[in-house]
Structure 1
Amino acid sequence: MNDIIKEKLKALPDKPGVYLMKDSFGNIIYVGKAKILKNRVRSYFIKNTGHNNKVLKMIENIFDLNWIVTDSEMEALILECNLIKRHSPKYNILLKDDKNFPYIKITTSEEFPRILMTRRVDSKKDKFFGPYVSSYAVKNVIELLRKTYGIRSCNRDLTTGKKVRECLNYHIKQCACPCMGYISKEEYGLRIKEIIAFLEGKTSDIIKKLTLDMQKASDELKFELAGEIRDRIMHINAISEKQKISVPANSDMDIIGLCEEGNTVSLALMFIRNGKMLGSKNMFFPNTDNREELIEEFLKQFYDAFSYIPKEIIIPVELSERELLEKFLSEKKEGKVELITPKKGKKKELLKLAESNASEGLKQRKTSKFENGLTELKELLKLPVIPRRIEVYDISNTGGEDIVGFMTVFENGLPAPGEYRKFKIKYLEYQDDYGAMYEVIYRRLMHHIEDKIKFEEGEDPDKLKFLKLPDLIFVDGGMNHVKVGKNAVKMAELSVDVFGLVKDNKHKTRDITDEFYEYQCYKHRAAFNLVSRMQDETHNQAVKFHHHLRTNNLLKSELLRIEGLGEKTREKLFKEFGTLDNIKNATLDELCKVVNKPLAQRIIEFYKK
């Protein structure tokens, strides 16, 4: 414990609030709330208090601490949630998968409603059903309902009264075409009511309608149509059967089950709406040996960001702060929410089912080849956490020209192409692999700092391409590459582990290295196979990007062979037309908007040859 912390511990107040632990770089590594700040914060620094390994590791890294006093424990809880969301502290239990679950939305606010998939309950005028676990299943149900009832899928404004041409869906009998007035508002509304009844679990109505349609098609000898309707009936029956569960018809609850094994906790979340099981979602966390803390953090973070909170949440442990959390959730819902830990009966059976799902999820995760590799990496490199997000960097060039960097991203061992980033080297005029590697990593980390500021100012995180930080960075290269990578991290005043991937004389992965020695990774087969795939993918992407850039530059340079056309004119042409093909296909008049007529004629003649 340093002198800064000693002095601050003396100044802690006897009031509720939030405390923020910081490392030597000033990064917030933990956020917590307390009913009495003085008692809670001091407890971290009392010896022999039975802290688990994760807490002990955190305490080792605490360099400074701050706190914010609040008027009540409820205010402290809300502030804690907001600060965890903003800073994603390293030692807090975090929900890595922050994607919202899919819902079915019926736009009842419109004269002729549509059926859509959405991930946000964002309107009180429309009807929402869910949440569902599988977006694929939601899309299938929506497509089935559209086809069965002829519901429009377009976003045309039908309030103007203007008629437009029928779309393809009308001609293939998948839309009733309200835009042309082929169906009345009343008839369309009846169809929407039937769909709502189906989504509320009243499937007998839609089955009855389809059965009549099937019989009619059969009577008219339209056997192909009758067969299609029969398949729809089977599909609906299958969906309904999957959702059946023995609970009261109007039940509205979530059930949380836990299963622990080794360093991992599996959490299964089951959704029941209107007495029907909508699915189960598995999530995984580091095992802190504190089930109560995990459930409390999950309830705060998940339902703070979730679009819908049910009336009842079944949980596997009694919570010391149950009343406070119920109040927090009830205020979010604007209605009563109960946290229930059942001892017997149907709800206890549902809890056992959720725990069984959590156990099954853990088994599936354990058997994953990527999970084994990630676990071996954590142990081999002595990382504080399993590296869920890994970034790999490579530099590619030809004799010092067209130097580029490429960043690949692997989440839970799998490539995440949507997270890949390309870098053109800006600050080097000659071949320098070390300088290029430093530039790429430093620029990437500075982009993160910029994005973090934008996020704190309220910008949408989905639009911030560098907001996420990796748990681990690999550079394609040896000890000196690792040194420049670590220097870049240090200059950005961040904390990320950096290692190198060394190749043999056949250009294949040989080992992992830091700036001092190699780790003999080949002795750890799962980890070695994983990093080999990562290095190959990164190298291939970097070469592909370099080739693409070089080809573009060579194509651009062919314009310079035209008499009277220099660098500045070439740039003007590309600014106006975008691509070389567009320049080749431009008319004389179009070219004359950028260059004089004689030069425009020479460009046309050049490409005619």
Structure 2
Amino acid sequence: MADPASYRPAPGEIPDSPGVYRFRDAARRVVYVGKAKNLRSRLSSYFADFAGLHPRTQQMVTTACSVEWTVVGTEVEALQLEYSWIKQYDPRFNVRYRDDKSYPYLAVTLGEDVPRVQVMRGAKQKGTRYFGPYSHAWAIRETVDLLLRVFPVRTCSAGVLRRAQLTGRPCLLGDIGKCAAPCVGRVTEDEHRAIAEDFCSFLAGDTGRYIRELERRMRAAAAEQEYERAARLRDDVQALQRALEKQAVVLGERTDCDVIALAEDPLEAAVQVFYVRGGRIRGQRGWVVDRVEEVGSADLVERFLAQIYGPQFDGAAPGEAPGGSADPADGPVPEGTAAIPREVLVPELPPDHEALAELLSRGRGSRVEVRVPRRGDKKSLMETVARNAEQLLKQHKTKRAGDLATRSRALQEIAEALDLDAGPLRIECYDVSNLQGTDVVASMVVFEDGLARKSEYRRFAIKTVRGQDDVAAIREVISRRFKRYLEESQASGELATLGGSDSTTDSSTVRAETGTESGSDAPERPAAPGRFAYPPNLVVVDGGPPQVAAAQRALDELGVTDVSVCGLAKRLEEVWLPGEDDPVILPRASEALYLLQRLRDEAHRFAISYHRAKRSKRATTSVLDDVPGLGPARKAALLKHFGSVRRLRAAGVDEIAEVHGIGPGLAGTVAAALAGGDPAPAPANGATGGGEPHGAQENAQGE
């Protein structure tokens, strides 16, 4: 690892003009490319305060051994040069977008002598027009089947075409009228190409012209009493209309835009794009990105726009957005590119959005607007795209978490990083939640074999801590959890080693058993395990050294020695061990860090939900709650009759007794309670006011 000070440029050497810079490692490989309005200010930030840098930036500057820069005239030129260098060098520390899956396109091979319609995936080829992307290949085939009735373009493979040319016999599609059969000379190659171009024009959005022409011909045939031909033309019109109905109308007919939304977490982000052409959603696509750089949402948007539209910045062939085309003379188009629309809707404006809009305008050849929709149909569509992005990120994480090999690798990486004897099959994670020191609660979530085991989740109402003291709260909750474990183990006679990694019995199958009295013939019956019967192999706390030390101290006081402890600090994603001065830095792309983050985030979510529930319960607590004999139905009846507690307090006993279900005795109890006196004893019938004691629910969940 290099010391950044060893290659820091001399003072005054860096210009203060716009430019692009490159960090190189010892082998002269470019590891990072960036741009800046002011090179001096931007580059100085990498060398000013190393400790204040984000961990990923620290890793980058210590991996690099030199930095160089190129001065440009404008911010637009800086954007263009940055994209070119990222494409050329593929730096390891720059954000890289990748498709969440391979999307199918509807392709028309106009570069061939006899164009063909087919489903294609992967890199785009020279001389081919692409339409899509579609979410499913069957959606393409349904659309093609409808359109071939009107535009009978060849769909067969090259082998089938050659065989038909040699035998002089067309395939089945040629016999049923869904292919113009250029292979046997029913149409010339020029006539077939014209049909293929009409097919492309219709898909590109020029739909009204063809429908109007077919309707005109249909009326003319009917006027000439050629009813069979008129019926066929009518069916053709209906086929085109059904093809159009498959594409939802969301905006005005003249609207051409790409709608982009993000869903992100500290390590990854998902991007979803809806392509709208002619007011209709013509396609949809998703990407997932590893957050290698220290970037916010605005920067992610800028880098995404650079990648998706980038080939058109430097004269490369534009890719095919739905309804667009690629010029066959321009060469192959990289996968992931798109034609630039008139309008790009984004969730947050990029830092240099004006320069970016100018660069997009140059690529399109006319004005392009980059903006955030604030109201109306476009904002509603943006919300829909955002929901799709959230689903994409969730599916990506679920797919990653559900893979057995991936989970096994994560547990093994954790064991190696924390110097454990074996992978921790059961991990418990704890988090504390409060609002300015009030309603302090904690959560315990459990992952077994890398998967959440929600039936084992527990929540705690902190009893001894007042104020914002997360360290004391962690110590209390760890003490309570393991004290209960030890009590249950002792009561049931369980002899399983606490957290023993050398035990041959899986923790999920351990059962405490109680024997019968000596001499009894009754068979032994397994006892139900307690709520804290199973010990973890690893305890994870949300926090740094203070929280980790508090958890370890709680275990030491109880004599628990076979449970490992670590903490995950949220800001820098560092893993802390008890008594260590330096954290364990897991690779940011490691499965171990991903699993620990899932644990921490789940514990945080569970704690927050419990904290909100307690706040909500406290906010709705009424002075009537403590009146003996007054249940929910009677409280509701009183409040409905009087309208408020203030009016109820001003009412007399006789007025209260007029309420349905309230007798004279209970009316006196209510009046005394509201007047501040001692409430009368509960009615002899044993009514308790409905509900369990205040602490019962908490004890059932935590203790």
What TM-score comes out, normalization by structure 2 length? Answer: 0.44
The equivalent residue for 2:171 is 168
Query: Does the 8 A contact of 1:100 with 1:120 survive in 2?
Result: no
Q: Does the C-alpha gap of structure 1 residues 77 and 189 become closer, same or farther in structure 2, counting only changes over 3 Å?
A: closer
Which deviates more, 281-290 or 266-275? Answer: 281-290
1:355 equivalenced with 2:386 (yes/no) = yes
1:95 equivalenced with 2:97 (yes/no) = yes
The Cα shift of 1:132 comes to: 4.0
Query: Does the 8 A contact of 1:198 with 1:206 survive in 2?
Result: no
- Which of 253, 256, 259 is the aligned partner of 2:257? 253
**Aligned pairs for 1:201-350 within 5 A:** 202=207, 205=211, 240-287=244-291, 288=294, 290-305=296-311, 306-350=337-381
The Cα shift of 1:263 comes to: 2.5
The equivalent residue for 2:49 is 47
Q: Does the C-alpha gap of structure 1 residues 112 and 365 become closer, same or farther in structure 2, counting only changes over 3 Å?
A: closer
Task: Return the alpha-carbon distance in structure 2 between the equivalents of residues 248 and 274 of structure 1.
Answer: 7
Per-residue CA distance 1:36-94 (angstroms, 9 max, x = gap): 21111111222289643322332332322122222333222222111111222111101
Percent identical: 27
The Cα shift of 1:361 comes to: 1.1
The equivalent residue for 1:79 is 81
The equivalent residue for 2:687 is none
Q: Does the C-alpha gap of structure 1 residues 252 and 84 become closer, same or farther in structure 2, counting only changes over 3 Å?
A: same
The Cα shift of 1:13 comes to: 1.9
Contiguous gaps of at least 5 residues in structure 2: 223-227, 312-336, 416-589, 599-703
The Cα shift of 1:322 comes to: 0.7
The Cα shift of 1:253 comes to: 0.9
The equivalent residue for 2:641 is none
Per-residue CA distance 1:179-209 (angstroms, 9 max, x = gap): 5443589986896687457533748949988
Task: Return the alpha-carbon distance in structure 2 between the equivalents of residues 380 and 343 of structure 1.
Answer: 48
The equivalent residue for 1:35 is 37
The Cα shift of 1:362 comes to: 1.6
Task: Return the alpha-carbon distance in structure 1 between the equivalents of residues 341 and 78 of structure 2.
Answer: 24
Task: Return the alpha-carbon distance in structure 2 between the equivalents of residues 99 and 366 of structure 1.
Answer: 14
**Aligned pairs for 1:321-470 within 5 A:** 321-369=352-400, 374=406, 377=409, 381=413
The Cα shift of 1:171 comes to: 4.2
Letter in 1 for 2:247: Q
Task: Return the alpha-carbon distance in structure 2 between the equivalents of residues 360 and 45 of structure 1.
Answer: 39
Per-residue CA distance 1:365-403 (angstroms, 9 max, x = gap): 2221556665885686489xxxxxxxxxxxxxxxxxxxx
Task: Return the alpha-carbon distance in structure 2 between the equivalents of residues 259 and 185 of structure 1.
Answer: 49
Task: Return the alpha-carbon distance in structure 2 between the equivalents of residues 4 and 10 of structure 1.
Answer: 17
The Cα shift of 1:248 comes to: 0.6
Letter in 2 for 1:150: P
Q: Does the C-alpha gap of structure 1 residues 331 and 379 become closer, same or farther in structure 2, counting only changes over 3 Å?
A: farther
Letter in 2 for 1:312: E
Q: Does the C-alpha gap of structure 1 residues 122 and 294 become closer, same or farther in structure 2, counting only changes over 3 Å?
A: same
Query: Does the 8 A contact of 2:31 with 2:93 survive in 1?
Result: yes
Task: Return the alpha-carbon distance in structure 2 between the equivalents of residues 27 and 250 of structure 1.
Answer: 47
Query: Does the 8 A contact of 1:314 with 1:341 survive in 2?
Result: yes
Report the structure, 1 or 2, having the larger helix content. Answer: 1
Q: Does the C-alpha gap of structure 1 residues 163 and 93 become closer, same or farther in structure 2, counting only changes over 3 Å?
A: same
- Count of paired positions: 372
Higher relative contact order (CA 8 A, sep 6+): 2
The equivalent residue for 1:18 is 20
Task: Return the alpha-carbon distance in structure 2 between the equivalents of residues 24 and 251 of structure 1.
Answer: 51
Which deviates more, 238-247 or 86-95? Answer: 238-247
Task: Return the alpha-carbon distance in structure 1 between the equivalents of residues 197 and 83 of structure 2.
Answer: 40
Q: Does the C-alpha gap of structure 1 residues 326 and 98 become closer, same or farther in structure 2, counting only changes over 3 Å?
A: farther
Contiguous gaps of at least 5 residues in structure 1: 217-221, 384-518, 528-609
**SS of aligned partner of 2:47:** coil
The equivalent residue for 1:66 is 68
**SS of aligned partner of 1:44:** helix
Q: Does the C-alpha gap of structure 1 residues 9 and 132 become closer, same or farther in structure 2, counting only changes over 3 Å?
A: farther
Task: Return the alpha-carbon distance in structure 2 between the equivalents of residues 89 and 380 of structure 1.
Answer: 29
What TM-score comes out, normalization by structure 1 length? Answer: 0.51
Letter in 1 for 2:300: L
Task: Return the alpha-carbon distance in structure 2 between the equivalents of residues 372 and 107 of structure 1.
Answer: 39
Per-residue CA distance 1:86-131 (angstroms, 9 max, x = gap): 22211110123499965545577999765355664866xx876445
- Which of 41, 56, 65 is the aligned partner of 2:58? 56
**SS of aligned partner of 1:45:** helix
Query: Does the 8 A contact of 1:270 with 1:279 survive in 2?
Result: yes
Across the aligned residues of Structure 1 and Structure 2, the Cα RMSD in angstroms comes to: 4.8
The equivalent residue for 1:580 is none
The Cα shift of 1:321 comes to: 0.5
Task: Return the alpha-carbon distance in structure 2 between the equivalents of residues 53 and 128 of structure 1.
Answer: 42
Which deviates more, 114-123 or 301-310? Answer: 114-123
Larger gyration radius, structure 1 or structure 2:
2
The Cα shift of 1:237 comes to: 6.8
Task: Return the alpha-carbon distance in structure 1 between the equivalents of residues 407 and 11 of structure 2.
Answer: 37
Q: Does the C-alpha gap of structure 1 residues 8 and 270 become closer, same or farther in structure 2, counting only changes over 3 Å?
A: farther
The Cα shift of 1:258 comes to: 1.1
Task: Return the alpha-carbon distance in structure 2 between the equivalents of residues 356 and 53 of structure 1.
Answer: 30
Query: Does the 8 A contact of 2:50 with 2:58 survive in 1?
Result: no
The Cα shift of 1:291 comes to: 0.6
Per-residue CA distance 1:294-317 (angstroms, 9 max, x = gap): 111111111114241111110011
Task: Return the alpha-carbon distance in structure 2 between the equivalents of residues 361 and 48 of structure 1.
Answer: 36
